[in-house]
Amino acid sequence: MLARRSRRNKPLKIAISPRMFHPEPGAKGDRSKPIMYLVDAVAHWIMSRDVMVFMLPMVAHGALVSRGNLKLSDYVDHFDGLVLQGGADVSPVSYSEEALKPEWAGDKIRDDFERELVMEFVEAGKPVLGICRGAQLINVAFGGTLYQDVALQHPQAIRHVDTETYDRHHHPIRIEPGSRLARLYPGVDSANVSSIHHQAVRTLARDIVVEAWSVPDQLPEALRVQGAGYVFGVQWHPEFHRPGDEDLLDSAPILEDFLEAARKRA
């Protein structure tokens, strides 16, 4: 009989916050119900390192599982790290603005859930990794703001999203010398990344530093929170970078750095 794994050798357990589908008026069937879901590319990217992945269901006032029954800190106790996946816009209301267009209203319900979730993991000293919207949410959670629409509010910017090519739309970034990200990629000053976003970081939160910039428009592409353990976000989608693709930045060092931070807290 094989010996049971020791506690030290057990796989890491990484929590992923859900994307949300909110039903529209008049919808029928499944589309008439709130739906929480996980994009498989994110799960598979993290699982590629023999890590267990769990999507966290929403715990909110008015839900079937309410805050009176279960607290977010109860979740945090059982996981080694948190990943914030991409998805709907961050609501401008979350950084004290009004939406310039109705379609940019974002998902305030998800914002509130994820902001509290981030702070619970930070308080527990466990690492947080944000992807695309997740990086934006981190900036907002710590007091920063966003461009509601890059093309409208930063007309000198390059194209950061293409609905036709989607995850095949790429652009270059410049890695900040001396940053932790630069140490993960020795000798790499610039690289191409997968870009799928029309919003972007506008005003940095006070405790955040930029570790990579888009080229040539100088929009923040990688953010790290100072003095709060491991809290890091990338504006691009590393889960869409295929291993061995020399045209795109290798996503493995980012994942391994995050998981190493999680192992130190496990």
Three-state SS for the chain is: CCCCCCHHHCCCEEEEECEEECCCCCCCHHHHCCEEECCHHHHHHHHCCCCEEEECCCCCCCCCCCCCCCCHHHHHCCCCEEEECCCCCCCHHHHCCCCCCHHHCCCHHHHHHHHHHHHHHHHCCCCEEEECHHHHHHHHHCCCCEECCHHHHCCCCCCCCCCCCHHHCEEEEEECCCCHHHHHCCCCCEEEEECCCCCEECCCCCCEEEEEEECCCCCEEEEEECCCCCEEEECCCHHHCCCCCCCCCCCHHHHHHHHHHHHHHC
Residue 188 located in a structural domain:
yes
In DSSP terms, 193 is beta-bridged to 171
- Name the one residue in this structure whose structure tokens are 């191409």: 192
241 counts as catalytic: no
pLDDT in tens, 8-51: 578 999 999 999 888 888 888 888 888 899 999 999 999 999 99
- 149 inside domain: yes
Of the two residues 94 and 7, the one the predictor is more confident about is 94
Residues 6+ apart with CB under 8 A from 83: 14, 15, 16, 17, 42, 46, 128, 129, 130, 131, 134, 258
* Position 201 in a domain: yes
211 pLDDT above the threshold of 90: yes
Domain-located, residue 56 = yes
Report the CATH number that the domain containing residue 150 is assigned in CATH: 3.40.50.880
Percentage of the chain lying above the pLDDT 90 cut: 79
Please indicate, yes or no, if residue 3 is contained in any of the structural domains.
no
- pLDDT value of residue 8: 56
**pLDDT range class, residue 61, cuts 50, 70, 90:** low
Catalytic residue, candidates 114, 120, 132, 241: 132
Domain-embedded: residue 2: no
Q: Which residue has the tokens 């080229």?
A: 215
Q: Which residue has the higher pLDDT, 6 or 210?
A: 210
What pLDDT is stored for residue 239 in this prediction? 97
Is 5 among the domain residues?
A: no
Please count the other Cβ atoms lying within 10 Å of the Cβ belonging to residue 244: 7
Mark whether 22 is an active-site residue.
no
Q: Which of 171, 197, 239, 241 is catalytic?
A: 239
Residue 21 lies in a domain: yes
Tally of structural domains, the chain: 1
Active-site residue flag, 132: yes
Catalytic residue among 170, 197, 237, 241: 237
pLDDT at 5: 46
pLDDT tens readout for residues 239-262 = 999 998 999 999 999 999 999 999
Residue 37 tokens, joined = 């879901």
For the segment 51-69, the average pLDDT, to the nearest whole number, is: 73
Domain extent for 142: 11-265
Q: Whole-prediction pTM value?
A: 0.92
Q: How confident is the model at residue 264 (pLDDT cuts 50, 70, 90)?
A: very high
Mean pLDDT over each residue of the chain, to the nearest integer: 91
